[in-house]
Structure 1
Amino acid sequence: MQRITFGTSGWRGILCEDFIFENVKVVTQAIADHVKSNGEGNKGIIVGYDSRFMGEAFAREAARVLTGSGIPTFLCVRDTPTPVISFEILRRGAAGAINFTASHNPPEYNGIKFSPSWGGPALPQTTNDIERRANEMLGEICYNECSIDDAVKKGLLVEIDPMQDYLDDLAKKVDFAAIAKLGTIAVNPLYGTARGYLAEPLKAHGVKVVQMNANRDPYFGGFPPEPSEKYIQDFIKLVQQDPEIALGIATDGDADRFGIVDGDGTFIEPNYVIALLLDYLVRVKGMKGGVGRSVATSHLVDAVAKMHDIKVYETPVGFKFVGELIAQDKIIIGGEESAGLTIKGHVPEKDGILACLLVAEMVAREGMPVKALLERLYSKVGRYLTKRVNLTLSPELEEIFPERIAATPASFAGEAVKEKITVDGNKFILQDGSWLLFRKSGTEPVVRLYCEASSEERLQALVEAGREFILGKG
């Protein structure tokens, strides 16, 4: 029996291989036991799911196990965005939530994400305990179950739809009146959970909306439900071809990631969006506090922070660490290069819905396209260009990788190494301010190489130097 392992965002597996009902019940029982051991079982657990195959069925089985353990369960009546589930944890004062989602992964995947009572993704000490409990139970029928009918009769199971409460709160944080003056906005929920969470509120506030991929499709149109430039070419084409569209906004399968397309069809890298929104929130909205970013996220964020004299918190990769800073009220905004962000006073979880609407607000109030806003920011703090590539290791290279990465070269691409950071992976800061980060995948023989420089030529030189450092010459 394959071990249950929680990654940066829960346990994920392939449907009908390791992600099967039996394993789901075991993991759910482990979560139930964990929550009860903390004395929080009576607070109840929310159960949600995204728009993937079998989401409802997995959620109902989880509800049967939770109620079988005597835990009050709040079962979502439809596929629900991850940030909305986080919001509902805090609103209800629940012990946590089980969310069946594989986020932006391909359609053959599903997953279980547990969020504890503070509303963010579970931290390692929590997932380690759940992992231990689950793996001790694998292969045994050691979970409790209650029929749905009996759970309802006992008052242990209630069906909920948290949409309206979340949207009401969102309306307090987003200037919809300003957005209404922007013009037409293109919306792409990528067949996922954001259906009804973006287009409908915009329309309700008088915004003209053009929408695509707004039906539920567990195949996600044949692509991973990731709002990256590679997978939203149909959306980019839509924006390019319609001169009335001022902005394109997209979310991933569970609506915790965002994708931004400028009015001319240019895809805007998430790294730059985080920095732009930081500047906007401080300068225009007067927010105060620090900023949190993962070790892999652009130092354009740092340059903006320096301009506004605010503190930068650098975290390991995984939004739980950024979410913790939000929960502690230390930061104005926290983000990751993989298109996740949230803000002060909101949920300690990635929220692609909020991110999209804040960008729309920023563009409307500033009266400039995103590209123009970015060029204006560059004129103040300098230019930052980023790139990520995957380097595949041969069996021989994978064996010697720990020894190779432990070394600290004197320089990369002719620039001396100034500092080495090991918050997560190995990050080399160079004398000119450019940098490289090497992070080994935990699931495949791949090294993720992140580079940042002030010009395309310098960026490509760093990529080649990083490639040679890991793979060798040739």
Structure 2
Amino acid sequence: MATIKFGTSGWRAIIADEFTFHNVRVVSQAIADYIKKTENPAGGVVIGYDSRFMSENFAHTTAEILCGNGIPVFICDRATPTPTIAFEILRRKAAGGINFTASHNPPEYNGLKFSPAWGGPALPETTRQIERRANELMQHPEFQIKSVEDATAEGLLTRIDPREDYFAAVLDKIDVDAIQNANLKIVVDPLYGAGRGYLSTLLERAGCEITVVHDFRDPLFGGAQPEPSPETLKEMLNIMRDRSYHLGLAVDGDADRYGIVDNGGTFINPNAFLAMALDHLITTRGWKKGAARSVATSQLVDKVAQQHGIELHETPVGFKWIGDLISKDAITIGGEESAGLTIRHHVPEKDGILACLLAAEMVAVSGKTLSQQLKDLYAKTGTVLNERVNLHLTPQRMASVREKLKTPPTRFGELTVEKVVTIDGTKFIFDDSRWMLIRLSGTEPVVRLYVEASNTTDLEHLKQIGMAYIEEE
């Protein structure tokens, strides 16, 4: 019998294998029990979903469980971005939210993500309680169910369209006048997902001339993962080689991650963009709160924070940690190398839509391409290069790597390890410019290798020694 296990961003599994209607009912009942015990159930729960196969059906199944438990439900009337759901939780002062999405995972996956009343991804102390109750229910299923029809008739279930309130909140955080005055031409790619009609509409309202690709639902995401990477954005990259476009902007399947292509077709590394955005926000807003990045994210962010004299927070992987700092108004910006960020006074959740609009603002305000802005930043900080390698291993090899890392080496050839950081994975710091992180994924059978250095030679060397360590018997 399968067990329910929450990873870095909710419970994810393969559809029709472990992600079944029965198991969705189990997890939904566990969440209902948690809400009745720890939150104000009368506040209701916002339910949303992305464009994956059967997502809306799973959402209605959860609605039946919550309503069966007497908890009001506000269910989105179409595929809705993750950050929009987070915003709606806060706007309504709801007891929480449930979102059906597997984010950037392959099409065969789906997922269930719970956000408590504070709007961010549930912290481990919350998911552990839900996990424990769900696995009890797996052994002894016991559900309280009310049909969608009955719940609607009784006023327990309400269908909502949260777009306009979210649009107003996002535009309030962006320099719309600057964007309008810049007459930007932008290519938009929502990657067949929940961001359709969101990013394009906001850019049009900000006065941009846009060209949209992949603007229809495809649960197979064109046969690839809905991750805004150079591999999945080939059509955008081809269009962007026509230098008449200022930017190409994309979001992933649930629109919480971003992909940015500069004038001429250069893909902007999310690590670099996070540091550039921090520098821009401090300069234009005057915000002097701290900055947060995950342990896997570039220390270019640290260099910018140091230049401006602000505190740097290093967190485990998983946006819940950054969201917690945002909810406490402790930081100006927080982000991860996997292209997730949010800013002060916004939702405590990744927002790829906001990130894309921030990129448009940065080009509009500076009058420079993002590549030019990065060159200017490197002139102050020094060059910082990084790379992530995903290694697909068998369960046996995964277990072997996990065991080896229990006793981290102190040297890799001629390189001496100066410091080991183990807040999430194992990070080997060699000096002030070179580091390597080995981390086992919490959602896929993958070992991730992260490397960073100041030049391509050192970067390639770190990558080779890291891969050799992972793959050796």
TM tier relative to shorter chain? over 0.9
1:64 pairs with 2:92: no
- Larger mean Cα displacement after TM superposition, 444-453 or 66-75: 444-453
Q: Equivalent residues in 2 for 1:227-242 (5 A)?
A: 227-240=228-241, 242=242
What SS does the corresponding residue of 2:332 show, helix, strand or coil? Answer: strand
Cα distance in 1 between the residues matched to 2:75 and 2:171? 25
Q: Which residue of 2 aligns with 1:197?
A: 198
**8 Å contact from structure 1 (residues 363, 369) kept in 2:** yes
1:184 pairs with 2:198: no
Q: Which residue of 2 aligns with 1:461?
A: 461
> Residue 391 and residue 191 in structure 1: after superposition, are their counterparts in 2 closer, same or farther (change >3 A)?
closer
Q: Which residue of 2 aligns with 1:303?
A: 303
> In the TM superposition, what is the alpha-carbon distance from 1:335 to its structure 2 partner?
0.2
What SS does the corresponding residue of 1:431 show, helix, strand or coil? Answer: coil
> In the TM superposition, what is the alpha-carbon distance from 1:288 to its structure 2 partner?
1.8
> Residue 39 and residue 295 in structure 1: after superposition, are their counterparts in 2 closer, same or farther (change >3 A)?
closer
- Larger mean Cα displacement after TM superposition, 259-268 or 56-65: 56-65
1:113 pairs with 2:113: yes
What SS does the corresponding residue of 1:138 show, helix, strand or coil? Answer: helix
Q: Which residue of 2 aligns with 1:213?
A: 214
TM-score using structure 1 length: 0.96
Stretches of structure 2 lacking an aligned partner (at least 5 in a row):
none
Cα distance in 1 between the residues matched to 2:432 and 2:419? 11
> In the TM superposition, what is the alpha-carbon distance from 1:199 to its structure 2 partner?
1.2
Q: Which residue of 1 aligns with 2:266?
A: 266
1:429 pairs with 2:412: no
> In the TM superposition, what is the alpha-carbon distance from 1:138 to its structure 2 partner?
1.3
> Residue 413 and residue 459 in structure 1: after superposition, are their counterparts in 2 closer, same or farther (change >3 A)?
farther
> In the TM superposition, what is the alpha-carbon distance from 1:428 to its structure 2 partner?
1.1
**8 Å contact from structure 1 (residues 413, 461) kept in 2:** no
Cα distance in 1 between the residues matched to 2:442 and 2:300? 28
1:449 pairs with 2:449: yes
Q: Which residue of 2 aligns with 1:246?
A: 246
What SS does the corresponding residue of 1:272 show, helix, strand or coil? Answer: helix
Give the partner amino acid of 1:165: D
**8 Å contact from structure 1 (residues 413, 462) kept in 2:** no
> In the TM superposition, what is the alpha-carbon distance from 1:76 to its structure 2 partner?
0.6
Q: Could you report, residue by residue, the CA deviation over 1:174-193 in whole angstroms, capped at 9, with x for unpaired residues? A: 11221221420111111111
Give the partner amino acid of 1:216: R
> In the TM superposition, what is the alpha-carbon distance from 1:425 to its structure 2 partner?
1.1
What SS does the corresponding residue of 1:177 show, helix, strand or coil? Answer: helix
Give the partner amino acid of 1:231: T
Q: Equivalent residues in 2 for 1:35-50 (5 A)?
A: 35-50=35-50
Cα distance in 2 between the residues matched to 1:330 and 1:274? 17
Cα distance in 1 between the residues matched to 2:435 and 2:446? 20
> In the TM superposition, what is the alpha-carbon distance from 1:441 to its structure 2 partner?
2.9
Cα distance in 1 between the residues matched to 2:67 and 2:462? 54
What SS does the corresponding residue of 2:113 show, helix, strand or coil? Answer: strand
> Residue 133 and residue 211 in structure 1: after superposition, are their counterparts in 2 closer, same or farther (change >3 A)?
same
Q: Which residue of 1 aligns with 2:379?
A: 379
> In the TM superposition, what is the alpha-carbon distance from 1:285 to its structure 2 partner?
2.2
> Residue 435 and residue 358 in structure 1: after superposition, are their counterparts in 2 closer, same or farther (change >3 A)?
same
**8 Å contact from structure 2 (residues 390, 447) kept in 1:** yes
Q: Could you report, residue by residue, the CA deviation over 1:320-360 in whole angstroms, capped at 9, with x for unpaired residues? A: 01111101111000000000000000000000000000011
**8 Å contact from structure 2 (residues 121, 349) kept in 1:** yes
> In the TM superposition, what is the alpha-carbon distance from 1:204 to its structure 2 partner?
2.5
Identity rate of aligned residues, in percent? 53
Q: Which residue of 1 aligns with 2:134?
A: 134
> In the TM superposition, what is the alpha-carbon distance from 1:445 to its structure 2 partner?
5.4
Stretches of structure 1 lacking an aligned partner (at least 5 in a row):
none
What SS does the corresponding residue of 2:187 show, helix, strand or coil? Answer: strand
What SS does the corresponding residue of 2:418 show, helix, strand or coil? Answer: strand
What SS does the corresponding residue of 2:285 show, helix, strand or coil? Answer: coil
> Residue 307 and residue 4 in structure 1: after superposition, are their counterparts in 2 closer, same or farther (change >3 A)?
same
**8 Å contact from structure 2 (residues 39, 95) kept in 1:** no
- Larger mean Cα displacement after TM superposition, 231-240 or 435-444: 435-444
What SS does the corresponding residue of 1:179 show, helix, strand or coil? Answer: helix
Cα distance in 2 between the residues matched to 1:54 and 1:144? 22
Cα distance in 2 between the residues matched to 1:254 and 1:358? 18
Cα distance in 1 between the residues matched to 2:14 and 2:41? 30
Q: Could you report, residue by residue, the CA deviation over 1:340-396 in whole angstroms, capped at 9, with x for unpaired residues? A: 000000000000000000011001101111111111100001111001113455676
Q: Could you report, residue by residue, the CA deviation over 1:152-187 in whole angstroms, capped at 9, with x for unpaired residues? A: 222211111110000011111011221221420111
**8 Å contact from structure 1 (residues 116, 122) kept in 2:** yes
**8 Å contact from structure 2 (residues 305, 312) kept in 1:** yes
**8 Å contact from structure 2 (residues 188, 211) kept in 1:** yes
Cα distance in 1 between the residues matched to 2:412 and 2:424? 20
What SS does the corresponding residue of 1:231 show, helix, strand or coil? Answer: coil
1:86 pairs with 2:61: no
The count of corresponding residues between Structure 1 and Structure 2 is: 472
Cα distance in 2 between the residues matched to 1:367 and 1:56? 43
**8 Å contact from structure 1 (residues 415, 432) kept in 2:** no
Q: Could you report, residue by residue, the CA deviation over 1:56-81 in whole angstroms, capped at 9, with x for unpaired residues? A: 21111111110100001101111100
**8 Å contact from structure 1 (residues 184, 247) kept in 2:** yes
> Residue 432 and residue 71 in structure 1: after superposition, are their counterparts in 2 closer, same or farther (change >3 A)?
closer
**8 Å contact from structure 2 (residues 8, 443) kept in 1:** no
1:327 pairs with 2:345: no
Q: Which residue of 2 aligns with 1:367?
A: 367
> Residue 308 and residue 78 in structure 1: after superposition, are their counterparts in 2 closer, same or farther (change >3 A)?
same
Give the partner amino acid of 2:367: G
**8 Å contact from structure 2 (residues 12, 102) kept in 1:** yes
Over the aligned positions, Cα root-mean-square deviation in angstroms equals 1.6
What SS does the corresponding residue of 2:246 show, helix, strand or coil? Answer: strand
What SS does the corresponding residue of 2:218 show, helix, strand or coil? Answer: coil
Give the partner amino acid of 1:412: F
> In the TM superposition, what is the alpha-carbon distance from 1:103 to its structure 2 partner?
0.7
Q: Which residue of 2 aligns with 1:285?
A: 285
Give the partner amino acid of 2:49: Y
Cα distance in 2 between the residues matched to 1:445 and 1:96? 30
> In the TM superposition, what is the alpha-carbon distance from 1:443 to its structure 2 partner?
5.6
> In the TM superposition, what is the alpha-carbon distance from 1:400 to its structure 2 partner?
4.1
Cα distance in 1 between the residues matched to 2:453 and 2:30? 45
> In the TM superposition, what is the alpha-carbon distance from 1:139 to its structure 2 partner?
5.3
**8 Å contact from structure 1 (residues 183, 244) kept in 2:** no
Give the partner amino acid of 2:228: P
